[in-house]
Amino acid sequence: MMWGNISLWVLALYISLFVWQSLRQRQWLWLWLAVLLWLGSAVFSMRLLPGVLGVAHIGNVYAPHAYVVPASVCLWLLAWRRHAKGSWQMRQGGDYLALLAVSGVVQHLSFIVLLLLVYSSYPQGLTLYVWPALWYQYWLQPVFWLGSQWLLMALFYAHRRLDNEAPNRFSWPQLQAGFLISLLIQALFVLVDLGKRFGHG
């Protein structure tokens, strides 16, 4: 029953790919920092809800992006290099981890922008419903969130290949386009969620 849940398969794939690529590319710092963030969050949730959430509870791995993306700061600080053509490149980590780090940051920035826009009008109008819908997609919809990130990674990869550039090299227009795409995808999720909520009202 549990393994018939597509969310668990997506989570297992995301985490396995990250761990495998981190070990393969020798990104020990990123991997261990992500693990420490997960353990810290697990201990906090265990203290917050004793007897409900434990260290090994599935709820603590339902949003691996909340640990993996912030932990990628080590890759940004150690491997980010600017090129003369107005582009930036990850010198370490390989293509997959570079795409994972950049798409994750772009995705989180668009999420933060949406949160700020909603918060600026809270609690007026539909913001009472939009605010929890945004957090719902982040924490409890791994298929949507991780699937959206993989889509963004695929678009970044295809764009660089069409330009005959390395997949781990990124241009400013490319990052802007990725930000807008991510913003639209997340906003669309909220609209669909609101439609379901009020459509049955």
Domain tally, the chain: 1
Q: What is the dihedral of CA 100, 105, 109, 110, to 10 degrees?
A: -10
CA distance linking residue 16 with residue 8, whole number of Å: 12
pTM summary value: 0.92
H or E element, residue 169: strand 169-171
pLDDT tens per residue, range 17-55: 999 999 999 999 999 999 999 999 888 877 877 666 666
The strand pairing partners of 170, in sequence order, are 88
Which of 49 and 176 is assigned the larger pLDDT? 176
Distance from C-alpha of 99 to C-alpha of 169, rounded to nearest angstrom:
9
Domain range holding 74? 2-199
User: Rounded to whole angstroms, what are the CA distances from 154 to 13, 16, 117, 124, 197?
Assistant: 16, 18, 28, 37, 31
